[in-house]
Chain A
Amino acid sequence: MIDWYFSHIVLVQSTLTTLLLALSVQVPLRAGVFSFAGVGCYGIGGYIAAIGMVHYGLSTATAILLSAVVGGVVAYALGLLIQRLTGLYLAMATVAFTLIISVLVVNGGDLTGGAAGLFGALGMLDTGHLLAVAVVVVAALTFTEIGPLGRRVEAVREDPELASAMGINVARYRRATFAVSGVLGGLAGSMTVLLRSTVTPDDINFHLVVLALTIIIVGGSRSWLGALVGTVIFVWMPEVLAFVGEWEDVVYGVLVAAAAVYLPGGVTGAAVAGYRTYRRKRREAADAPPDGPPPQPVAAGVGGDS
């Protein structure tokens, strides 16, 4: 167990940071906001942490905290700016925002290290810290998924007009999801960079947006559990798919396309639906004898045994 942990420590850590990145896209999506601003804030957070450590000698905790705050503020401001966009247009505006950040850091001069990026930003982080942050985040998000708040978020997603007729301030919820996604993106970015100790403009690319989106769609978009399942699938797949060797990316593509066609609710959605069907069948089976016609003598004997 211990040996296994130490030989897979990089994968364990990247599972936790990737989970935060995926959540930064899932939180807005759960409220019907198709935004990738969280991925942009991942880049911002990564660079702020690296700049803070390399140029200003900040402590690890301060750097992470600062990244989360700046990510939240930037994403909230972006949300204010583009809140009237919806659907694919909002998605592409936020993708453009994310990619502009990578161009900005290429041209950032000494501050961002240009195309070569920044080196030597090794933070004092271990898996325990990551796990603590992830648990706190997941616990906080659980509150937005259950109870009255969870139902309000669902109403904002499914039917914004109805939600505002019920007295829910839809615009405020949408802006709030921007801020939350910015904080989560900032956390994910800063912790990733502080673990790796380097950051380059290439780290903020279109592939990261694609990764976050596929994790959520394949895992399930309705709950943090879906993001966790998707993260585990995509972070560990290269390890599991090692036997297909060079054709790993082909298998990846086939899996993603198949999930899009056959699993509309993702893996967790399919599991929940399957569990419900199973429970209903069992309840029907359990309910059937009392409602049914008078049991035959043999059946009555069986019923008496139970």
Chain B
Amino acid sequence: MAQHILNAVALGSVYLVFALGMALSWSTIGILNFAHGATFMFSAFTAHVVTQHAALPMPAVVLIAVAAGALIATLTQLLAFGPIMRRATDHRSAELRILIGGIGVAAIPLAIAERVTASAPFGFRGSTYQAQVFEVFGLRMTTTVLVIVVAGIGIGVGVWRWLATSRQGLALRAIGVDSETASLMGVDRSTLALGTMATSGALAGLAGALLTFQLGAISPASGDQLLIKAFAIVVLGGLGSMGGVIVGAFVLAGAETFVLAMNQGTWVDAVSFGLIFVVLLLRPQGLFGRKEVRRT
């Protein structure tokens, strides 16, 4: 039982880092980045390629993945989302075109990674990192799990507090509420958008490195599945609430681990889909979201 809880916490921490990146750009600058899953996967893939040529320790591998993620997301913003936002006439058409732009961008890294790996899972076998197994209160635990949980919860709480208290966080939230008024107040939207996308991409890269260390290997297609799970997490927590993302990530991970523990493995995917559906039906603003659901 306790082992299951530990697994759920480790899984939830990875979900958290990934979903935070998605929620950050979506709830502030209004970009639901469909390339977030591909960014996640390709960051890990970049680190994988580097470790094939150089035996690096764990922090260096993580750093490479984080940098790769930030770079991909910045490029996505510069080449696709930025131009779309400048050209779009109204909010709804921009939303739709950002969705499509993200889908298009996502296809590129996926195609490259699938081509190079022949769609086989890849990992960090070239890294010098060896997981140490130790026991705490009779629980089997590895250093990987420890790193993941500490990083996940630390970053989750950090982003949440930063957005709630810092000056840039205030500016970002102002854009999320009313971007026109915010720019009249002197908020530089396009620069902040670039910074937000880079941060969001860095979080995707971190999630990619952590999950690959945890599982040993991930497949190129794993980004898409995670994208829908992250959506479920954001919807459950409520768009605009980073605290909600933290709760949502662990609730989803807990529910999935529970379903797995009951030997109902084929139903695991239904948890996130069902969650999206039920939450939107009963409480569209999510657990901690703003009261109004934006009408488009």
* A residues with CB within 8 A of B: 34, 81-82, 84-89, 92-93, 95-97, 99-100, 103-104, 106-107, 115, 206, 210, 213-214, 217-218, 246-250, 252-261, 264
Q: Which residues of A contact B114 (CB under 8 A)?
A: 249
Chain B: CB-nearest residue to A250: B111
Q: Is B5 an interface residue (CB 8 A)?
A: no
Closest chain A CB from B189 CB (angstroms): 18
- Secondary structure dominating the interface of A: helix
Q: Which residues of A contact B281 (CB under 8 A)?
A: 81-82, 93
Task: Establish whether residues A96 and B105, one from each chain, have CB atoms under 8 Å apart when the complex forms.
Answer: no
Q: Is B175 an interface residue (CB 8 A)?
A: no
Task: Establish whether residues B103 and A256, one from each chain, have CB atoms under 8 Å apart when the complex forms.
Answer: yes
In addition to A93-B277, A252-B111, 20 A-B residue pairs with Cβ atoms within 8 Å of each other are: A86-B293, A86-B296, A88-B95, A92-B235, A99-B228, A107-B266, A115-B266, A206-B224, A247-B115, A250-B108, A250-B112, A256-B101, A256-B103, A257-B79, A257-B80, A260-B98, A260-B104, A261-B83, A261-B87, A264-B87
Closest chain B CB from A136 CB (angstroms): 29
Q: Which residues of B contact A213 (CB under 8 A)?
A: 99-100, 103
Q: Is B284 an interface residue (CB 8 A)?
A: yes
Identify which of A86, A95, A257 contacts B228 (C-beta below 8 A).
A95
Task: Establish whether residues A252 and B107, one from each chain, have CB atoms under 8 Å apart when the complex forms.
Answer: yes
* Complex CA–CA separation, A99 to B268 (angstroms): 12
Q: Which residues of B contact A84 (CB under 8 A)?
A: 284
Q: Is B18 an interface residue (CB 8 A)?
A: no
Q: Is B273 an interface residue (CB 8 A)?
A: yes
Closest chain B CB from A8 CB (angstroms): 25
Task: Establish whether residues A107 and B267, one from each chain, have CB atoms under 8 Å apart when the complex forms.
Answer: yes
Identify which of A107, A218, A246, A257 contacts B105 (C-beta below 8 A).
A257
Task: Establish whether residues A246 and B266, one from each chain, have CB atoms under 8 Å apart when the complex forms.
Answer: no
Task: Establish whether residues A103 and B111, one from each chain, have CB atoms under 8 Å apart when the complex forms.
Answer: no
* Complex CA–CA separation, A189 to B294 (angstroms): 33
* Complex CA–CA separation, A49 to B129 (angstroms): 53
Chain A: CB-nearest residue to B114: A249
Closest chain B CB from A39 CB (angstroms): 13
Question: How many pairs of residues, A versus B, come closer than 8 Å at their CB atoms?
Answer: 131
Identify which of A34, A82, A103 contacts B270 (C-beta below 8 A).
A103
Task: Establish whether residues B104 and A254, one from each chain, have CB atoms under 8 Å apart when the complex forms.
Answer: yes
> Which of A99, A107, A247 neighbours the largest number of chain B CB atoms within 10 Å of its CB?
A99
Closest chain A CB from B85 CB (angstroms): 10
* Complex CA–CA separation, A254 to B105 (angstroms): 7
Task: Establish whether residues B266 and A103, one from each chain, have CB atoms under 8 Å apart when the complex forms.
Answer: yes
Taking CB atoms and an 8 Å cut-off, the chain B residues in 73-100 that contact chain A are: 79-80, 83-84, 87-88, 92-93, 95-100
Interchain Cβ contacts under 8 Å between A and B, 16 examples: A86-B295, A87-B95, A87-B296, A92-B280, A93-B276, A93-B277, A95-B276, A96-B276, A100-B270, A103-B270, A213-B100, A256-B104, A257-B79, A257-B80, A260-B98, A260-B104
Closest chain B CB from A117 CB (angstroms): 14
* Complex CA–CA separation, A299 to B143 (angstroms): 88
Identify which of A115, A206, A249 contacts B111 (C-beta below 8 A).
A249
* Complex CA–CA separation, A34 to B95 (angstroms): 11
Chain A: CB-nearest residue to B271: A103
Task: Establish whether residues A87 and B92, one from each chain, have CB atoms under 8 Å apart when the complex forms.
Answer: yes
Q: Which residues of A contact B103 (CB under 8 A)?
A: 210, 213-214, 256
Q: Is B154 an interface residue (CB 8 A)?
A: no
Closest chain A CB from B200 CB (angstroms): 17
Q: Which residues of B contact A248 (CB under 8 A)?
A: 111
* Complex CA–CA separation, A213 to B87 (angstroms): 20
Task: Establish whether residues B92 and A217, one from each chain, have CB atoms under 8 Å apart when the complex forms.
Answer: no
The 9 closest A-B pairs by CB, nearest first: A253-B107, A256-B104, A257-B104, A249-B111, A87-B296, A260-B101, A253-B108, A96-B276, A260-B100
Closest chain B CB from A306 CB (angstroms): 41
Identify which of B96, B98, B231, B273 contacts A103 (C-beta below 8 A).
B273
Q: Which residues of B contact A253 (CB under 8 A)?
A: 104-108, 110-111
Closest chain A CB from B295 CB (angstroms): 6
Q: Is B269 an interface residue (CB 8 A)?
A: yes
Closest chain B CB from A89 CB (angstroms): 6
* Complex CA–CA separation, A261 to B98 (angstroms): 8
Q: Which residues of A contact B251 (CB under 8 A)?
A: none
Closest chain B CB from A160 CB (angstroms): 9
